[in-house]
Each structure stands twice: as C-alpha cells, then as structure tokens.
Structure 1
Amino acid sequence: MQAQLFTQVWNCEGRLLRLERESHYKLKDMCLSFALFKLLQAHEKTWNLILHGLLSDRDGYKRAFRIVEVELTFLYDFFYTKYSIIFHPGYWTTKLMELMGIAIGIGAMTSLLKYHQRGNSSNCPLTTMPNGLSVDIFVTSVMITSFIVMELIQYFFMSFSEWAKVIWICQYVRKESWQKSAQIESMIKWICGVWLLKPWERKLHQYSFLDSYFYKPSRLLNNRIMAAFIDQTRDGQRQSPPIQLSEEVKQAVFHALRLNNSFYLENGCGSLRLNNHFDMLSWACHLETETQVIMVWHIATSFCEHRLPIRLDLPKMKDFRVATTLSKYLAYFVAFAPQLLPDRPLFAEHEFNQAIIQARVFFGRCKTMVDRIKKMEEVPGGHSAHEGTIIELGSRLGYSLVNDIGDEDNIWKILADFWVELVLYVAPSDNAKAHVEHLARGGEFVTHLWALLSHAGIERKKPPTEPHNALERSNSF
C-alpha cells in the first residue's frame, strides 16, 4: 500500500510536484525520506536508488544528505515525539473535537468564576489583589491560559511537522481537484517550506589529543558524591569547539561512497592502495583494535598539522581541512562517544585512559606544542622506552609521513582519503540504540552515514579484534 502511494506521488503530474524546478523536487524527496524511514534496513534495490539515483549527479551528495537528514527527523519524531499519531485514522477529527471541548470548558469555567466572584462577599486582603480580583480566580485563570497556550503550541508544531507535510502531499496526489487549484498548491508549498527547529545543528564535534591529554577536570564536580547526579569527566576529556559541517567534508565522503565498488568497507587500507603507499603505511591499519587505529592516525595527523608549514595558497588545502576535521571528529568518539565505534565501549574507554597516562609520561614537562612536536621527532631515531604505546606509534607514523613521503600535497591527500574511508568504516553499526540516543542530544554526521549505509547493505570487511573480557552491549532499540 505504501509502495503504491509512493509511486503515485512520484508520478503525479500536478504543477506542485513536477520535476521542473528544484523547489518542487524537495517535496517529492520529503516523501522519499519518509519511505526510506520505513525501510531503514539493507536492501539491494534501495542501494541502486541511492547509487544510480541520488549520487549519480555531480552534486547528488547534497540531495542525498538532505533526504537522509529528513529521514532521521522522522526517526527522531518516532521515538521522542507523538507526531506520528497524526497518521492514525480520524486523528484530525478527534483533535478538532478536543479543541472545541477546551473552548466550551473555558466558557463554562469563566461563567463559574464570575458567579463565584459575585457571590463572594469577603473583602479579606489576603485573598484579594489590589485591583479587586480574587487570588483564586487569578491563579485558576493563569493555569487555564497556560494549558491553552501549550495546546496551541503543540498543535502548531504538529501541523508543520514533516509528518503533516507528507499527509498534505499525499492528499494533493489523491485529489485531482487540488491539483487544479492554485490556492491549495500555494498553501501546501508554504506549509512545506516551513522548517521547524531540529536537534541536528549540522556541526561536527572535535577533540585534539595533543591539546587535551594534560587536562584534569575540577574535583568539585568530579567526585564520588557528584557521580550520583552527573556524568563524570575523565582526565584528558576536554572537548574542542564544534565546527560547522563543511561542503568539502560531505562532498569527499559521498564521493568515496560513490566510488566504492563492493558492499564491504575497509579501515583505510583501500585508500592507501589507491595512493600507492600500502606497503609503507598499512601497518598502522592492522593494530589490535579500531580505537588504536583511530588514535595512532589522529596523533600522526596532528603531528603533520603542526610540523608542516601551511600556506593559504596550498593546492591541497581542501585535503588538509578534510583530514584534520575528520581526524578530530573520530577522536571525539574515542573520548566522548565510544558506543558509536566498532570496538566495545568499555575497551575503547580503557584504551583512551591508557593513552592519556602514556602521553603524560612521554611528554613530561613539555608545556608547548612546539616542545611536544620536537619530543615526538626523537622517537624514530632509536630505541624508545615507550615502544608499542599509542603515542610512540603515532609519532612513528607522523614522522614517516613527513620524512619518507616528503611531498606536502601528497601527504594531505593520503590523510584526507584515509580519514574519509575510516569514517565510512565506522558508520555501519549494529548498535542502533546508540544512534537513536544521540539523535536526542543533537545527532551526529556519522548517524546520517549509518542510515545511508544501512539502506545500501554495506558492512565492514571484517569485524575488529576484541578482547575476550569485553562486555556485551545491547544491539536493539
């Protein structure tokens, strides 16, 4: 039934839904988002729609991202609002009767209050306001007014929700008389053009390990007593300011997704092969866990960021921004959202805590970034007491990138392609509950990729190595 209705929407020849202008295309895409929300599971035909439909054009990533964004709006509303109830038969009739009942009740209550005021002969100053109005009447009036305002606000948001917009478009498709009415078309277009505030701010969280490993949270808020009331901040957990999700990042990610020729993703090895540096750098992709891979490459990327002079006219400035942005974004997951990573959360937290301890010992009294970079440059020169640690591996990888490859443009292309592939590798997840919970806290870019890859049926090439003592996590809603 839903598939038939979607086909009717897509084939509708009404002026409002013709494919002649981009604004009309967005209305059909809203229905497509709703259909994908209903089909949030792997399906070969859905992947063909995404690959050969949404991503076939040069700027197809913009449309694909917009559709997934609206799709996740439906998912958010399904779990955290009651907007989906408007699809129940007779809802609008019931809502109208409810509003009429409220209006009648207000009228009856007003009459009773007036009668009560006339019949109350008490002039007690404790129950009478300066203007002569009774206190109990004032309190009752405020409560009634608050109730009315809340009902009207709820009705407003529900009327302009994506769910209501889909209903309007479906009604437009079903009724030919609406397709011949310019007034109705203008009204529907206006309603669909209203974009209510959503939790997704189109921003990427950021975390820099070399800038934050020495951070110690305040003991006033982080102690055993306060642990019962608020989440505790661990050593090294100092988040950098979030940044706006750029078109460069979206374009790079979707371009890599479009070029993917299989239903399996690699954790960066594929990009190293394409750039002809697999033999030299692949060792940093074959570590015990993906948390270690992220941390080692993040430290190496930070090393390159501070070691290489950056010029504004650098031809590969785009690669530089993509690499550093996604590096700090995935490092944020290690520090603050390990449940979104392929590894099990408790083990990822353990790896992070160990890396913080190792960095403090390794850097010692290095107070500035310049001193830290110099300290990291000393590692590949000989045997190190820190051999095998996250900070030592990251230093060795960063040194190899800067000194063995040499060409600055090529370095940033390697790093950009690696991080794009790795963020796609992280996105597929069987922990749907974690993604839904993050929708309530503002959403994540990786959740959009998770939804897109879920439709495609794309998975990781092989599961990450996990310790035997790691705890199981819940994979259900």
Structure 2
Amino acid sequence: MADNSTCIEPFLKCCQETSNCFTDCTDGVEDMFSDSISGQLWRVEAMLFVNAILAGVMVGIGAYGHRYRHYGFTRYLLLGATTLFLPIISYVLSAFGSVGYEFDVTIPSQLIATCRAYFIHTYMVIVSICLVLISAINTSPIVATDDREDRSIHPPFELLVQGIWIVYLARKSFALGHNPRLIVGYMQQLQVENDQHASEEDVPPPAPLVVMGEDGHKLEKQPHGFMFGKNLEEVQQGGLVTIDRVWQLENLFLKDICLSFALFKLLRCRYARYKLTNVIPIETFKFVRNILLKDGEHERAFAMIADELSFLHDYYDSPLLVSYSDNWLVIVSMIISLLSVGYCIFVGTDIITAAWLKSQDVNKDFGNLYFDVVPVLLLLVFVAVAEAKDIASHICSNWTKVILTCRCVRRASLKLSPVLPKWVGFLLRCRCGRLMRHWSDKMRQSSLLVLPGSGCLLRLLDRKKNVEVPTAVKACIIDALRSTSSEGLSKGTTSLRQSQDGRSLLWACNNGKGTSDTILVWHIATAILEMRHLHHQPDDDPPLQTLHGGRSFSVSEKKTAATHLSHYCAYLVASCPELLPDDDACSKYLYNKVKKDTDRALAIGSGTPVSPMSPEAGYRQLIEMLGATQNHEVLKDAAKLAKQLGEVAGGEEIVWELLAGFWSEMVLYLAPSDNLKGHLQAIDRGGELITLLWGLLTHIGIIDRPGDTAASASATGV
C-alpha cells in the first residue's frame, strides 16, 4: 500500500481538475477502488430496484381502490410491501454510507466523494428514497376519530412527522374527531325544540340534520355529549348548514349528496355505540323515511345509502380525508400534489438528460447506470400517478361537492350574489362515474342447485359470482319495506298472510328452527321452481299488482327478484354467516351438511339425463329425489315446499308473486344487526347488499330485529 498511497495526492488533485478520477493513478489504486465500490453498488442498485417494485405495489393497490387491501392476497401483498420498504431503505443508506471505506483506511474518503460516478449514484439513491417515502405516505391511512368509535389510525412511526399535525387538527375538530358526541347532543337539543313546536303535517318538513359548519361555535359540555351554546336559529345564522337549508336548492343531486353526508354523521354515532332510537327525534325518522321510501324512487334511495357508506369508508379507510378538517388543508394538499407532479416531471427530465450524457462518457464507471435510472424513473411515474389520483379524488369527490354546496347555501343565507365560477358549477354537476364510487352495485350469488343447460341432471356447485343488482330487486325490497316497517320485520310471513295460498305456506317459515334453516329450505324450493319455469318468455309478461299495493310488477320482474335474492341469501349463509341472526358456526355447519346431503341425493339420480325430459318431468324428479326419507330435514322440507308451490292455484304468476314477497321480507329481516365490525369489514371489501339495507333500516328507525335482546359481546365490537 505504500507504493499506491504515493499517488493519492496527485489523484485527488486530478479529481478536482477533471472528471476522470483515474487519469494519473497507478493500476493498483484503480483496481483497489473499483473492487471495493462495484460490489456495494450492485447490491444497492438491486435493492433500489426491489423498492421500486414495492412502491408500485403500494401505489397500484392504493390507486385502484383501498377496499382491495382487505382481500386476502392483496392484503398480504400490501402488508409485505409496506413492511419491507423501510428495512431496504435502511440497508441502502447504511451500505451506501460505507462505500469506499472497505479497501483501505489510509485512503481518504474524499477519494470517493469527488468522483462523478459516486455523485450520480448518490443522487439516484436520495431521489429513490424520497419517492418511496412519498408513495408510502400516500397509501397509509390516517384516521382521527372519537374515542368511543375506537377506530383511530395514526401514521406509522416512521411517517409520524409528516402526519402528526394533520392528525392533531382532525382529532380536535368537532366536524371530524369529536363529531359523534356533538351530533348526539345536537339531536337531543333538536328534540327539545321539536317538542315545543310540534307539527302535524302529513308530509314532514325537511329535518335540520347537520351537514357542515360545526366548528367555530360555542359549545357546552353535557352528560351525553356537546350542545350548542345558542338556540339553533342563531347557530344556523352563524354558519351551521343543515338539511332544511339545503332542501331549498333546486338541484336534486346536491340535495341527495348532502343528505347522504348528514346520514353518514348519524351512522358514525352508531359506531360510537349510541342508541340512535333514543336520541333521534321522531320527526327526523319520518322525514328520512318519506325520502328513502318514496314510491318509484328506489334507485334514488339505494344511491343515497351507497353514497353514505362511501363517506363512511372514506373516513375510516382513506389516507387523505383528515385534510377535510379544514378547507385550507384541502387546498394545501392539492398544491403539494401539484408540486409533487411538477417535481417528478423536472427530475425525470434531469435524470434522462444526465443518463444520456453519462452514456457518452468513455471513462470507467461503477455499477450499472440503468439499474439507477430505471427504478428512479419507475418511482417517478408511480408517485406522479398517485399524486394525480389524489388531485382527482379531491376535485371529483363527494366531499368536495358537499363543501361547495354548503358554501353556496351560506352565500344564499347572507343574501350574497348566487353567481359562481363556471368551474364550481361544473364540479357540482360532475358525478365522476366509477372513479369515486365505492359500492359497485353488485350482489354475490351462491347456489346449491345449478340449473342444467343441455347436459346432466342438476349438479351440486357452490358457486359465488357477482352480478349487477337488478332494478326489480331494489323495487321489491323498497315496496316490501314500505308496507312492513310500521308493523315490524318478519321472516316473510307478512306477505304470505295476505292470501290463502300464502297462508298455507306459513309452516315453512314457522318451523321452530333457525333462520339459516328457513333460508336453505326456501332457497332449494325456489331453485326447483326456477328449473320448472326455465323456458319462460318474459316478453309476454302481463303486469301484476304487488301485494303491498304499490307499483305493478311483471312476472319476469318478480321471478328476477325472487331468484336473485334467493341466491344472495344462500351466499350469506355460506360466506357471511356472521351477519345473520343465527350463530355463525352453526350456520356454516348446517350449510356444509345440507351441501353434502344434496350432493349425495343428486348423485343417486344422476344416471337419468335431463335433456330428454321436459321441465315439468325434471321438476317432479327433483322433488322425488330430494324428498327421500334418508335425506336431511332441510331437503325434505324444501321438496315438500316446492311441491306445494307447484300446486298453487293461479300458476306461475302467483308462485313468483309469493316468492318475491317472501324473499324481499326475508332479506330485510336479516339486515338489522349490532355486528358493527362485520358490516364495517363488508364496507371495506366494497360493500354488501345486506350492509346497504342495514344502513337504510337504521335511518328509518329499525335498529333491531323483532324479538332481539341485547347483542352478544362478540357482535358489538368495533
């Protein structure tokens, strides 16, 4: 080393004067320098490439939809990405900091620090680390809630500095963090004023539900929450926006989205374990019921509840929504995102230019330039996509529409000019399609009996597929709810009691067994009847007047509603028994037992092909096979029920009328639940029809099923 060290000083002097670190050095120093740095750089570059892939996973899952982080494979994929990127960054920093010190302690660190190759690698490492951290921040949920909700999610320790200020503001906000306590107190305050000004109008007036503007008012601490220190009229004049003021607008969509937002705040009170029926005035329930159950507007009702659950999902599972604790935070967030996109474009251009110039250099380099450039460019694309999505989310989200609508309401109350910039009007009219829609308007289907095509007899198949929720399903559910909500929910018995044919089927509902038994009996019977009427032509359907006295339904609409709800309820028993009234373990055991018995029963008769049979002959053979003495009681009851339905006077029209009425009432009976955790998990997965009905029933005052007592401890956790 003595000979080599003699050229260090001229080497350093050369490094200061020219870009070539090896011009005047001996081959020994060059080899020593190259060997010591190349291996480290290759490892660092490989780790940077892996981190780019991990960042792509985080951004991809986050950009495509946060609900996918709750599915099995993507959940573990995202968990692995978010877990590994920090150790990799730590390794890169520690490894890169040690580069150049391994070959000889007598060679000064300036030897490396002055090399242009080292500077390029250093620049790439720093940029990569910054971009990966930005990607992680964009996909890390930061939720600030009331302590009663037990849902607060703070940023990871490594990202605490970036999120602590926003979390602090949101936690202290009565519009976000302490909202349930204020809403409950406000409802009690509203109850007192309603008692003093009782109304006997047939059509209830718009309820003054809180939309926005809770912060900035004097509040008084009460035993069950907070109340406004002034009367409500003075509070509204001070900037509180309520539904009765929004209802003066002409735009129906804006009124509906604000009502969904107000209902979302009420639903948060339920997650804070308040009993809503004890705090919400009767007049409020009447108003909401009048809106949601209006005849012929079932699509509107489902859309409003879907938007409400979307607000709930965004609040509990979004990395950005705490920025809505104050309007200026939204603006700052969008400015930061725009600057980030601009930064990505600038750095990307700079890197491409530097890489091109470096490729023209014939001097010796270390590592591989492409392993530096490609990961960084990928990271720049990922960050730009994530930031662009955040900008689009802020601009197109329903949260922004609510904020802008409330500003319009405030301007109107102050008698200011109603003229708005064109871009504001555009945003208020924009519905954004699928970009911001969380609920996909689909329902899963599962069936024990799959109808044959042209091959063998019905075979057992536990299939689970997603289908669009038909309009007929929504219409039948709202129609059933309109007639049964005042009488209490039932397991399908209310509609059956309205006709002699229906009363003869009550035994299949009141069999003294669990709800899951009833569902499977009626599901198998419905599938048998579906096979019998497989070749029905819907074009010639005469309209039928519903049993509940509402709109008219055709035979095909009734059949569509009955079969889809039958398959959906079977799916609930098979895959979501925790949302049903029965013990989930018992429901799973029953389903598997019936499934096994059905397989055995159908296997016995599988030698006779169905293709030569008429639908009527296949129907009778199924009844005979499933009704055999050795079969499970559910199969025998299903065969008995299917035979009885097939003998109903009036034929196919009356059969599907009875089945549609039964299944509409059954799915409504299943919806009320205290399993808040289960429904929140369903919302995280993208939503379930039963969860949407759960929210709908909550807002018209139906919290429990008839006969329900206190919920079990396992069901009440949040």
TM-score range, shorter chain: 0.7 to 0.9
1:60 corresponds to 2:300 = no
1:268 maps to 2:492: yes
RMSD: 3.7
Q: Secondary structure of 1:68's match?
A: helix
Aligned residue in 1 for 2:325: 88
Of stretches 249-258 and 39-48 in structure 1, the one that deviates more from structure 2 is 39-48
Q: 1:327·1:419 contact (CA, 8 Å) conserved in 2?
A: yes
Match of 2:260 in 1: 33
| 1:306 corresponding residue in structure 2 | 531
Cα distance in 2 for partners of 1:47, 1:186 equals 32
- Which sections of structure 1, spanning at least 5 residues, go unmatched? 214-234
Offset of residue 430 of structure 1:
1.4
Counterpart contact for 1:289–1:343, Cα < 8 Å: yes
Q: Which residue pairs with 1:251 in the alignment?
A: 475
1:283 corresponds, among 503, 507, 510, to 507
For the pair 1:181 / 2:406, whether they are aligned, the reply is: no
Equivalent runs, 1:348-363 vs 2, <5 Å: 348-363=587-602
Residues 208-227 of structure 1: CA deviation (Å, up to 9, x unaligned): 212299xxxxxxxxxxxxxx
Partners of 1:192 and 1:100 lie apart in 2 by 23
Contact 1:6–1:35 (Cα < 8 Å) also in 2: no
Q: Spell out the pairing of 1:320-399 with structure 2 (5 A cutoff).
A: 320-367=559-606, 368=609, 373-378=619-624, 384-386=628-630, 389-399=633-643
Q: TM-score, normalised by structure 2?
A: 0.54
Look up the match of 2:683: 439
Q: Which residue of 1 aligns with 2:245?
A: 11
Deviation for aligned residue 1:406 = 5.8
1:124 Cα deviation after fit:
3.2
Q: Which amino acid aligns with 1:364?
A: A
CA distance in 2, matches of 1:7, 1:473: 38
Q: Distance in 1 between matches of 2:626 and 2:389?
A: 63
Q: 191-200 or 447-456, which moves further after superposition?
A: 191-200
Q: Where does residue 706 of structure 2 map in the other structure?
A: 461
Provide closer, same or farther for how the CA distance between residues 418 and 123 of structure 1 changes in structure 2, counting only shifts above 3 A. same
Inter-partner Cα distance in structure 1 for 2:380 and 2:605: 63
User: How many angstroms apart in 1 are the aligned matches of 2:348 and 2:567?
Assistant: 60
Q: 1:220: which partner in 2? A: none
Per the alignment, residue 231 of structure 1 pairs with none
Q: How far, CA to CA, are the matches of 1:391 and 1:52 in structure 2? A: 42
Q: Is the 8 A contact 1:267 1:285 kept in 2?
A: yes
Kindly tell me: are residues 272 and 418 of structure 1, through their superposed partners in 2, closer, same or farther at Cα, counting changes over 3 Å? same
Could you tell me how far apart the structure 2 residues matched to 1:12 and 1:472 are?
A: 40
Asked whether the 8 Å contact 2:337–2:391 carries over to 1, the reply is no
The answer to whether the Cα contact below 8 Å between 2:460 and 2:598 also exists between their aligned partners in 1 is no
**Structure 1 letter corresponding to 2:364:** C
**Quick one: structure 1 residues 155 and 323, their matched pair in 2 at CA, closer, same or farther if it must change by over 3 Å?**
same
CA contact (8 A) 2:246 2:258 kept: no
Q: Write out the 4+ residue segments of structure 1 that deviate beyond 6 Å after TM superposition.
A: 103-122
Secondary structure at the aligned position of 1:39 is classed as helix
Q: Which residue of 2 aligns with 1:219?
A: none
Structure 2 residue identity aligned to 1:439: I
Q: 317-326 or 46-55, which moves further after superposition?
A: 46-55
Query: Which shifted more, 338-347 or 447-456?
Result: 338-347
Q: Does 1:423 align with 2:678?
A: no
The alpha-carbon deviation at position 286 of structure 1 amounts to: 1.9
Secondary structure of 1:332 counterpart = helix
Which residue identity is paired with 1:345?
A: D
Sequence identity of aligned pairs in percent?
A: 27
CA-CA distance at 1:335 after TM superposition? 1.9
Inter-CA distance 328–9: structure 2 relative to 1 (3 Å threshold): closer
Q: Which residue of 1 aligns with 2:520?
A: 295
Matches of 1:424 and 1:326, distance apart in 2? 11
- Aligned CA distance change for structure 1 residues 473 and 354 (closer, same or farther; 3 Å): farther
State the Cα distance separating 1:85 from its structure 2 match. 1.4
Q: 1:125 to 1:50 in 2, by over 3 A?
A: same
Corresponding letter in the other structure for 2:249? R
Could you list the per-position Cα deviations for residues 119-151 of structure 1 after superposition, in whole angstroms to 9, with x for gaps in the alignment? Answer: 99773366566xxxx764564454345333322
Is the Cα–Cα contact under 8 Å of residues 275 and 414 in structure 1 kept in the other structure? no
Query: SS of 2:467's equivalent?
Result: strand
How far the C-alpha of 1:156 sits from its partner, in A, is 2.0
Name stretches of at least 5 consecutive residues in structure 2 with no aligned partner: 1-185, 187-209, 212-235, 271-275, 453-458, 543-554
Offset at residue 461 of structure 1 (A): 1.8
Distance between the aligned counterparts of 1:246 and 1:437, measured in 2?
A: 24
Structure 1 157/412 Cα, relative in aligned 2: closer, same or farther at 3 Å? Answer: same
Partner SS, residue 443 of structure 2 = strand
Tell me how far 1:355 sits from its aligned partner: 0.2
SS at structure 2 position matched to 1:274: coil
Cα shift readout 1:54-109 (whole Å, capped 9, x = no counterpart): 323x3232221121111111112122213421321241354256358748977997
Q: Secondary structure at the match of 1:326?
A: helix
